[in-house]
Amino acid sequence: MARKKIALIGAGNIGGQLAYLIASRELGDVVLLDIPAKEGVAKGKALDIMQNGGVDDFDCKIVGTGDWKDAEGADLLIITAGIPRKPGQDREDLIGVNLPIIRNVAENAKKHTPNAMAIVVANPLDAMVYEFKKVTGWPRNRVMGMAGILDTSRFSFFLAEAAEVSVKDVRTTVLGGHGDQMVPLISYSTINGIPITEFLPKETIDSIVARTRKGGGEIVKLMGTSAWFAPAAAAIQMATAIFNDSKRVLPCAAFLEGEYGYEGIFMGVPVVLGKDGVEKVVEIPLSPEEKEALAKSAAAVKSVVEICDRT
Ligand code: APR
């Protein structure tokens, strides 16, 4: 039986961490692809990780490359190609520089890996994944964005810390675009089934919601570039659910075709992830306030998507 082949498009901070996680969990073989000028970085990271196999006890073939031909036959693409944020920038500020990059990636994906599934990570996420789908013409089950798992993991961590409980017991969900208007859902967030309102006062929860919305920016401010450990882990959770056909219910950016009242845009919603990718978009009832917050987030997503459509 063939091993899975995963092509990581972008061999930067997230790409390198993705390669390490895939190798150490033996999820499949990896192609670590960057622009020709960064081929040495891709090859160097590939060697560094493979040389770790004897110490950490894993087998994995990683090919560092600047050539899309090496990606041919990939089952899955995880796309981080693009420029990350600098302090003071919103994700939306990256559209000008990252739009030509995602177009180039999508053209190559269409040509070299026409049957692959794609998880887009590059920002501004909801617009990048939209453009990727538009250029490739791939169906919605095969194209998805990683954001919701990361946003919920931040939300869960802040709640666990404040409530002084294990983060393993915190279950949260976040809807909407991967921007400061995202909608952390208090009504669907529990500590092993117990509403978080039983553990924390409203003011604390409100300040955690605000911190979650700017959770990425907090890290950019500290490091001068964006996060990579949690983003890579989140994309790997999606890949694992697909490879194992686990039918996990996870928040991902999915192309909406009327769900939640939206059509033709990607937004974070709970989906069922299995061997066919996004197998189902799960719709949950929302309060009038939650609907209003989602509408604001959708408007922010649409304003960036419009830039894609008119540029
Ligand atoms: N094809 C392949 N790789 C590319 C291309 C391209 N057309 N254009 C740029 N890249 C590569 C860069 O050369 C760089 O090595 O993408 C890599 C991005 O790596 P980093 O700069 O380290 O950025 P990273 O932290 O990995 O984040 C990547 O994901 O979360 C988002 O906001 C983040 O948009 C950013 C992306």
Rounded to the nearest angstrom, the gap between the alpha carbon of residue 34 and the centroid of all alpha carbons in its chain is 19
Question: Which has more confidence, 311 or 185?
Answer: 185
- CA-CA distance, 214 to 225, in Å (whole number)? 14
Give mean pLDDT, residues 171-183. Answer: 95
Q: What is the pLDDT of residues 1-32, one digit of tens each?
A: 889 999 999 999 999 999 999 999 999 999 99
pLDDT of 281 > 90? The answer is yes
Calculate how far, in angstroms, residue 121's C-alpha sits from the geometric centre of ligand 1: 9
Angstrom distances, CA of residue 248 to CA of 10, 187, 252, 273: 26, 20, 11, 5
Q: pTM of the predicted model, to two decimals?
A: 0.97
Per-residue pLDDT, 90: 87
Q: pLDDT-based confidence at 92, cuts 50/70/90? A: confident
Query: From the alpha carbon of 33, which atom of ligand 1 is closest?
Result: 2
Average pLDDT over residues 138-145: 98
pLDDT score at 299: 96
Pairing relationship of beta strands 183-184 and 174-175 according to DSSP bridges: antiparallel
Q: What is the mean pLDDT of residues 75-84?
A: 97
For tokens 């869960």, name the residue: 156
The predicted pLDDT at position 1 comes to 86
Residue range 271-288: average pLDDT?
98
Mean pLDDT across 248-270: 98
What would the mean pLDDT of 71-99 be, rounded to a whole number? Answer: 94
**Which residue's alpha carbon is at the smallest distance from atom 35 of ligand 1?**
84
CATH of domain 148-310: 3.90.110.10
44 C-alpha to ligand 1 centroid (Å): 16
Q: Write out the residue limits of the CATH 3.90.110.10 domain(s) in the chain.
A: 148-310
Task: Tell me the residue type at 43.
Answer: K
* Angstrom distance (rounded) from CA 181 to CA 179: 5
Domain made up of 5-145: CATH architecture: 3-Layer(aba) Sandwich (3.40)
Instruction: Report the percentage of the chain scoring pLDDT > 90.
Output: 96
- Could you tell me the two tokens for 305? 């998507």
Pick from 65, 80, 98 the residue to mutate for probing ligand 1's pocket: most ligand atoms within 8 Å of its CB.
Answer: 80
- Using the predicted structure, report yes or no on whether residue 133 has a pLDDT greater than 90: yes
Q: What's the pLDDT score for residue 222?
A: 97
Calculate the average pLDDT of the chain: 97
Picking from 31, 16, 278, 297, the residue whose alpha carbon sits closest to that of residue 133 is 278
Query: Tens of pLDDT along 38-67?
Result: 999 999 999 999 999 999 999 999 999 999
Q: What is the percent of the chain with per-residue pLDDT over 70, rounded to a whole number?
A: 100
Residue 171 in contact with ligand 1 by CB distance below 6 A: no
Task: Give yes or no for residue 84 CB within 6 A of ligand 1.
Answer: yes
pLDDT interval class at 190 (50, 70, 90): very high
Contact of 251 with 269, CB cutoff 8 Å: yes
**Count, residues in the chain:** 311
**CA 200 to CA 304: how far, in whole Å?**
35
> Which pLDDT band holds residue 223 (cuts at 50, 70, 90)?
very high
> What are the start and end residues of each CATH 3.40.50.720 domain in the chain?
5-145
User: Of 78, 33, 62, which is closest to residue 237 (Cα–Cα)?
Assistant: 78
Q: What does the pLDDT average to over 277-293? A: 97
Could you tell me the distance, in angstroms and rounded to a whole number, from the CA of residue 10 to the centre of ligand 1? 5
pLDDT at 311: 87
